[in-house]
Amino acid sequence: MKIIMLGAPGAGKGTQAKMIADKYALPHVSTGDIFRANLKEGTELGMKVKAYMDQGALVPDELTVEILLDRVSKDDCKNGYVLDGFPRTIPQAEVLDKELEKLGDAVDLAIDVEVPDENIVRRMSGRRACVKCGATYHVEHIPPKQEGICDRCGAELIQRDDDKPETVQKRLSVYHEQTAPLIDYYTKKGILKTVDGTQDMDAVFGAITAIIDRH
């Protein structure tokens, strides 16, 4: 099963993608996580993407597509995957469709996690992420058992550099201009499903599993 998670920055794509990956034993592929891991390790790719990410802009399609196609060609993706944060532009979606078509394959579901802009800035300012395993928390809604420490692996929790309110605003406008048109794109393909992302995370997950199980 190949699932795409759509939604504004902070809608909960990553939170839900991890839960889907666990329940259905699918790899969770997040272009944002891949870029952040490279930034942290100071790789050549990390240097290339830093300025874009810091400004809340998109990394150029050419670079992003190359990284994504390389990742999904790995063995663990043979039976499907959950894409989180990709595609983010129409050209990215078109390349993915073309590549899958060559293999006689296609995306099964695009799940849009809908959250109004007003809720987003509040969510982002409270987000904390594990430096080691990538687990995500929220200081109010989903707090770790011990402040600043990951429940899953015990490593340190940090705030992302691009979660500053000005950068969040920029990411939101980039989302509306460049990514939201994908809702129409996948609606036309007949595979778009929408869930209300303002509910608590278990309710959102319940809505998503109902969609996947019906598929």
Is residue 134 at the binding interface for ligand AP5, with CB under 6 A as the rule?
A: no
How far apart CA 139 and CA 124 sit, in angstroms, is: 10
Binding mask 58-97 for Mg ion (x = CB under 5 A): ----------------------------------------
Which range binds ligand AP5 by CB under 6 A, 20-28, 49-57, 145-153, 181-189?
Answer: 49-57
Minimum Å distance from CB 28 to ligand AP5?
11
Is residue 10 at the binding interface for ligand AP5, with CB under 6 A as the rule?
A: yes
How far apart CA 120 and CA 205 sit, in angstroms, is: 18
How far apart CA 11 and CA 113 sit, in angstroms, is: 6
Which range binds Mg ion by CB under 5 A, 10-18, 98-106, 119-127, 148-156?
Answer: 10-18
Minimum Å distance from CB 190 to Mg ion?
26
Is residue 14 at the binding interface for Mg ion, with CB under 5 A as the rule?
A: yes
Structure token pair of residue 155: 């490593």
Q: Which residue is nearest to ligand AP5 (CB)?
A: 32
How far apart CA 105 and CA 189 sit, in angstroms, is: 14
How far apart CA 47 and CA 51 sit, in angstroms, is: 8
Q: Using DSSP, state whether 133 is helix, strand or coil.
A: coil
Show the CA angle centred on residue 21, arms to residues 93 and 40, nearest 5°.
75
Annotated active-site positions, please?
13, 88, 127, 160, 171
Cis preceding-peptide flag for 87 (omega within 30 of 0): yes
Is residue 123 at the binding interface for ligand AP5, with CB under 6 A as the rule?
A: yes
Cβ burial, residue 30 (10 Å; 0-12/13-18/19+): buried
Which range binds ligand AP5 by CB under 6 A, 5-13, 144-152, 185-193, 206-214?
Answer: 5-13
Do 117 and 8 form a contact (C-beta atoms < 8 A)?
yes
Is residue 32 at the binding interface for ligand AP5, with CB under 6 A as the rule?
A: yes
Binding site for ligand AP5 (CB under 6 A): 7, 9-15, 31-32, 35, 52-53, 56-59, 64, 85-86, 88, 92, 123, 126-127, 136-138, 141-142, 162, 171, 200-201, 204
